[in-house]
Structure 1
Amino acid sequence: MPFAIYVLGMMIFSMTTAEFTVAGIMPSLSNEFDVSIASVGYLITAYAAGMIVGGPLLAIGLSKVSKKRAFLLISAIFLFGQILGASAISYEMMMVARIITGVSSAACFGISLGICFDLVSPQYRGRAASIVLGGLMVATALGLPAAMLFNQYFGWRSSFWAVVVLVLLSGMLGMKVIPTASHSESVSLRSELASFKNPNLWAAFATSLLIIGATFAAFSYFTPILTDLSGFDTAMVPLILGIYGIATIAGNLVTGRTADRYMMPTLTIGLMLLTAALLMFGLYPRSPYISVLAVIMIGLTGVTLNPAMSTRITRVAGTGTLVTTVHGSIISLGVVVGSSIGGLTIDSGYGLHSPLWVGFILAILGLISLLPYLKRAKASAIMMKSKS
């Protein structure tokens, strides 16, 4: 794989660490700005909103710029937002910083995938995507814990400045190793917009949203479920979440290997395992052994299906920056949908385990969304067999 692809993964790692950091240092930010924990939570929402709405708009604005230049401009915008956050003297200033970084992060996801797809032949796109998106998995396993340690020993601002250094380094490396042009730079905005008329693209978007929604309906509430239902001591939860992070890295490596040749089987089997894990967790949330097993299975099969989802998008609509950016926004929307519905079920009195059932239902809907394609594949296989 070209070294540039690893640099793109490093940038995604840096930006995803920035995204997750607030969740890990909420008490520190609450004390710093004299606001409630709920208000700090809105900083997470602001970042997600920036990714969902602003990312595609920024991608459209940069549609006539080369992908390398767009990558560098987006990195500079993110850098400005992160420096603003690290220097924030008020809650409002931090809110603006989070919106800026959310918008630029979504656009960077799209442009990074677009560049990586241009750098490899079609049969290696799944593997290339797994390296770029691996930055997301590593941020979950290592980036967030590191940010929490920085906060604990050097103060919350140090975790923000650490990301500034990482983004700056990634941008400088990108300037050196990303090719100035690629064979698909000529893709026009009009042709990309035409892709959105394809119903198969929206079907792929729907599956992606449901997979991520199912995962985050459960993941968002792992900590209270593990402590209040499964009976784990609070000190054990970081270890279990660390195991989850390792599982996501392992699952991402496997998916990256299988997504190119076996894209639909990878999605189908992965979704079936995710559904089984959520069902098992929902039925036996008070069993510590089953809980840990379910957490590992969700780590292996949830967000780790991203390379297969991205490969499906490129086969349906090509490698245009706008399409890949919108796909990233759809994934962010899945995070919001899953975690929000899970929270609503708890607030409505359905119990702390209810988000697991929300995840199970969303996973079932994800499997249903694949049925037309599985039937079509079966029909094609029968036709080929009859011809032979």
Structure 2
Amino acid sequence: MPLLVYILGLTIFSITTSEFMVAGMMPSLAQALGQPVTQIGYLISLYAMGMVIGGPLFTIGLLRLRIPNKKGLLWLLGLYALAQSAAASANNYEVMAIARLATGVAGSVCFGLSLAICAEAVKPQMRGRAAAVVIGGLMLAGVVGVPVSTLIDQHFGWRASFWLVVALALLCLGLIALLVPPAKASDKVSLGDELGEFRNRHLWAAYASSALIIGAIFAAFSYFTPILTEVSGFPPSSIPWLLGVYGIANVVGNGVVGRFADQYTIPIMVGGMIVLGSSLALFAVFAHHQNISVALLIVTGLVGMSMNPAIIARVMRTAHPGPLVNTVHTSVINIGLSVGSWAGGAGIAAGYGLRSPLWVGVALAFLGLVSLLPYLGHKPHDAGSAAYPAGVD
């Protein structure tokens, strides 16, 4: 695996740590900015909004200007570092909110460009494995990045955590400038070529599967803490280590899936959805048993977010893995995350209890499985297009 792929993984680690670290420092930010905690929570939503809406629009602008992937990534990492610096220096909520929106836009484009450069850096048959390394940065952000940024906040203040992300972004910028070769004329993809990929209905089918899979995971994950404390009976002090175990399971599953995602893309996703749906259903039934809950928490971690290498490998084979295809995929994943989390909360609000998000996750996993079945048993090409069902063009 080229060293560049690991540098791209570090880039994703930096971006994702910045996205979620606000959750671990809400009291500090609330005090510093003079806002209630609920208002601080919107800073995460603003980042996600930038990713979902601004990322694809900004990528279209880069393509219209025919800016090569390397130059685009360097520019966006520079913008990211600048916006993150503004957040680190913010003295009021308005500046912080604008900075978070800007980092969300830049982060989404960096995500798409990183995956596009990753696809160019390895052979087509290794794209899933390489994507697992890059997406591993996202997994490690939850296991390492967010806890470390929280510790830094507690000992050195919240600004130090923000400045650390600036330093990481600048480090990645320098390494990418050194390691990514200049684009050849034949490597440049025009806006028309990129937009043409969206006429492929199999790409939209792949996007739909991605949204349903991520939605199923986050419908449950968003409410693990109240489920584990109020239904399973764990003390609040045990939640950090329980979520840490879940995060480690994510990392392990991501590594395993990444090894086989290129060769067995659809079977892995189908099997993953069956196991995920089953584990969430069992979790809902036996949530009052602590030992069973921990076991199912681990199983969910192993087969949940670890599907990322497979869903990315599928998209990369369904269409040319250019920056717009990957950035829109990032937006779709964030939409699935938001809808899943909202649907899980809606079940609780409707009076169905704290177990209802788990059942919502089961329903979304079933829909994800249904979306995959037409593609089961059709071996994908090594590059360029998906495993289309027989007789479909």
TM-score (norm 2): 0.94
Structure 2 Cα separation of the partners of residues 225 and 157 of structure 1: 32
| Correspondences of 1:59-70 after superposition (within 5 Å) | 59-63=59-63, 64-70=66-72
- One-letter code of the match for 1:31? Q
Shift of 1:211: 0.6
Structure 2 Cα separation of the partners of residues 191 and 148 of structure 1: 43
- Given the alignment of the two structures, is residue 199 of structure 1 paired with residue 201 of structure 2, yes or no? yes
- Runs of 4+ deviating beyond 4 Å: none
User: Aligned residue for 2:382?
Assistant: none
Shift of 1:183: 7.8
Contact preservation (8 Å) 1:118, 1:183: no
Contact preservation (8 Å) 2:215, 2:337: yes
Contact preservation (8 Å) 2:7, 2:175: yes
Contact preservation (8 Å) 1:118, 1:184: no
Q: Over residues 276-299 of structure 1, what are the superposed CA-to-partner deviations in whole Å (9 max), with x where a residue is unaligned? A: 111111111111112111211121
User: Aligned residue for 2:8?
Assistant: 8
Q: Over residues 37-75 of structure 1, what are the superposed CA-to-partner deviations in whole Å (9 max), with x where a residue is unaligned? A: 211111111111110001111111111111110110110
User: Aligned residue for 1:293?
Assistant: 295
User: Aligned residue for 1:53?
Assistant: 53
SS in 2 for 1:25: helix
Structure 1 Cα separation of the partners of residues 95 and 231 of structure 2: 38
Structure 2 Cα separation of the partners of residues 343 and 286 of structure 1: 20
Shift of 1:375: 6.5
The CA RMSD over aligned residues, in Å, is 1.4
Gaps of 5+ in 1: 384-388
| Correspondences of 1:234-253 after superposition (within 5 Å) | 234-253=236-255
Gaps of 5+ in 2: 380-386
Structure 1 Cα separation of the partners of residues 50 and 257 of structure 2: 28
- Given the alignment of the two structures, is residue 267 of structure 1 paired with residue 273 of structure 2, yes or no? no
Aligned residues: 379
What is the aligned counterpart of 1:230 among 232, 238, 247?
232
Shift of 1:184: 5.8
CA shift in 2, pair 1:184/1:240, >3 Å = farther
SS in 1 for 2:352: coil
Contact preservation (8 Å) 1:119, 1:182: no
User: Aligned residue for 2:328?
Assistant: 326
SS in 2 for 1:89: coil
User: Aligned residue for 1:386?
Assistant: none
Contact preservation (8 Å) 1:267, 1:309: yes
Structure 2 Cα separation of the partners of residues 330 and 376 of structure 1: 24
What is the aligned counterpart of 2:147 among 145, 148, 156?
145
Contact preservation (8 Å) 2:347, 2:353: yes
CA shift in 2, pair 1:29/1:199, >3 Å = same
What is the aligned counterpart of 1:356 among 355, 358, 368?
358
Q: Which moved more, 1:248-257 or 1:283-292?
A: 283-292
- One-letter code of the match for 2:16? T
Structure 2 Cα separation of the partners of residues 344 and 184 of structure 1: 49
Q: Which moved more, 1:30-39 or 1:103-112?
A: 30-39
Contact preservation (8 Å) 2:128, 2:310: yes
What is the aligned counterpart of 2:280 among 268, 271, 278?
278
